[in-house]
Homo-oligomer: A and B are copies of this chain.
Amino acid sequence: MPSLLLKLDPARDLVLEREVEVPPALVWAAWTKPEHLSRWFAPDPWTIPTCEIDLRPGGIFHCVMRAPDGKEYPNVGCYLEVASEERLIWTDALLPGFRPATDPLSTTIVALEAHEGRTRYTVTAMHPDEARRLRHEEVGFRRAWDAALDQLASYVTSL
**Residues in A lying within 8 Å of B, measured CB to CB:** 1, 5-7, 12, 54, 56-59, 80-81, 89, 91-94, 96-102, 104-107, 109, 126-129
Contact = CB atoms under 8 A, between A and B. Distances in A.
Contacts of A93: 93-94, 100-101, 104
A72 B18 CA distance: 45
13 contacts: A1-B58, A5-B58, A7-B96, A12-B99, A57-B57, A93-B94, A97-B126, A98-B109, A98-B126, A99-B127, A100-B104, A100-B105, A100-B106
Contacts of A7: 96-97, 99
A58 B7 CA distance: 11
Q: In the A-B complex, list the 6 residue pairs whose CB atoms are closest, starting with the nearest.
A: A93-B100, A100-B104, A100-B128, A1-B58, A102-B128, A99-B126
Nearest to A93: B100
Contacts of A91: 94, 98, 100
| Copies of this chain | 2
Contacts of A107: 94, 98-100
B127 A100 contact: yes
A62 to B, nearest CB: 14
Nearest to A13: B99
A153 to B, nearest CB: 27
Nearest to A54: B5
Contact of A58 (B81, B92, B104): B81
Nearest to A99: B126
B6 A98 contact: yes
